[in-house]
Amino acid sequence: MRIVKTKIKCSVCGKNDAVVYCDGCDAPLCGNCRKFDLWGYGCGHVDTKAFCLSCAEDIEVNPWGGKRPAAETAERTVQESMRVQIKEAP
């Protein structure tokens, strides 16, 4: 999370002063438009991330909170490996 130190407007609403940069696309965001996410690591360390709405939902930017087709892809991979096993069986 990177704090905005200069006075610039939020790139989402254009009304409020930006307080933090999006960790995905570097867009300056105000307190209303940022979306916080906590990334936990195995060692107990937690990183605070701030995203704009589109980056928060983008699985490639935010693998912990994103919504794009991770489950679907995993399912397809399982189905394909099953098909291979069936074909190779004697």
* Residue ranges that bind Zn ion, judged by CB under 5 A: 10, 12-13, 16, 22, 24-25, 30, 33, 52, 55
Return the number of the residue (20 or 52) whose C-beta is nearest Zn ion. Answer: 52
Residues with Cβ within 8 Å of 49's Cβ and at least 6 positions away in sequence, in order, are: 1, 23, 36, 37, 38, 39, 62
- The CB-of-72 to Zn ion minimum distance in angstroms stands at 23
- The CB-of-35 to Zn ion minimum distance in angstroms stands at 9
- The CB-of-59 to Zn ion minimum distance in angstroms stands at 13
Return the number of the residue (53 or 84) whose C-beta is nearest Zn ion. Answer: 53
Return the number of the residue (9 or 76) whose C-beta is nearest Zn ion. Answer: 9
Cβ burial of 49 (10 Å; 0-12, 13-18, 19+) is buried
Task: Please report, as a single letter, which amino acid is at residue 31.
Answer: G
- Per the CB < 8 A criterion, the answer to whether 23 and 46 are in contact is no
